[in-house]
Structure 1
């Protein structure tokens, strides 16, 4: 019974650890972010992203939805331009789970401790990193950057869309700084 609970716990931790997005941000501390009210996409920057055009559309739709939800307006004369780029790399994790070790009585070596169960779990996945840049349009300077990294597993377009929305939401939640 304890073994079943332990296996279930390990499975839950493994599955949830793959679904998280690690986010970092950087920004210009001299900028008044409250002055930005409107946005548009920086086509030249987005065109350089190495993802498919369909994924670019997914990312841009997700960014637009998050920005509008924060009270920003999409404009032809924007305060900030939003650009994206991405990186991917293959990752492998190996976890060695030892079950049954430590059974026995007394101090020191115990011959009845042998026979525990050991299992190695190997997980191969693609880690993706999405960069979202906010550029002051009038100064043409980068003022804020959000970076999200996490596992990317897409078995169908609906799951891909959901994962991209999750990445964008986690990143945009950190804008503006101090919010």
Structure 2
């Protein structure tokens, strides 16, 4: 009976873990981030990104929103240049289930096992990188990375892109542990 009660919680945990965005960041520890107040997009870098123009616009709008929320002002003479790039890969997950009496979850052969089933699913996992470049020195000072499953349809796609950007940009400015 206890197993029946924990099953919905387990399924909820599995579904939640599939939809989350994992984020990381890296930065130059010798840089003082407090003087940076203005930004602009690094057009030549963004033009090289091999995703649809619609997705580029979605990402850039989300970054605009996050930068504005953090108090940055878009400028023709910026302190920071914002660049993006993406990666995409197919991920294959195979789950093996055996029902009935046997030695556990699918190893070995047992004449009492019945109902064994393998389920293979593929998902597209994407990575979004957001680079912040010191406009005067032309040096990368901060990089945020978000990894998660991609969504292919309209409204949900925009929500997913906003989730990626919000979680990545939540790490800026970096905190230096001393």
TM-score grouping bracket, smaller chain normalisation:
0.7 to 0.9
Query: Relative to 1, partners in 2 of residues 1:26 and 1:101: Cα closer, same or farther, differing over 3 Å?
Result: farther
Deviation sequence 1:17-37 (CA, Å, 0-9, x none): 221111111111110001101
In 2: Cα distance, 1:51 partner to 1:158 partner: 17
Partner of 1:121: 119
Deviation sequence 1:110-160 (CA, Å, 0-9, x none): xxxx55765433221001000100000000110000011111122x21111
Moved more, 69-78 or 79-88: 69-78
Partner of 2:169: 172
Partner-residue secondary structure (3-state), 2:63: helix
Partner of 2:105: none
The 5-angstrom pairing of residues 53-64 of structure 1 reads 53-64=53-64
Q: Quick check: 1:125–1:153 contact (8 Å CA) kept in 2?
A: no
In 2: Cα distance, 1:19 partner to 1:12 partner: 11
The 5-angstrom pairing of residues 1-179 of structure 1 reads 5=5, 7-97=7-97, 114=112, 118-154=116-152, 156-178=153-175
**How many residue pairs get matched?**
170
Alignment root-mean-square deviation, CA: 2.5
* Per-residue deviation, 1:50: 0.9
Q: Quick check: 2:36–2:79 contact (8 Å CA) kept in 1?
A: yes
Q: TM-score, normalised by structure 1?
A: 0.84
Gaps of 5+ in 1: 103-113
Q: TM-score, normalised by structure 2?
A: 0.84
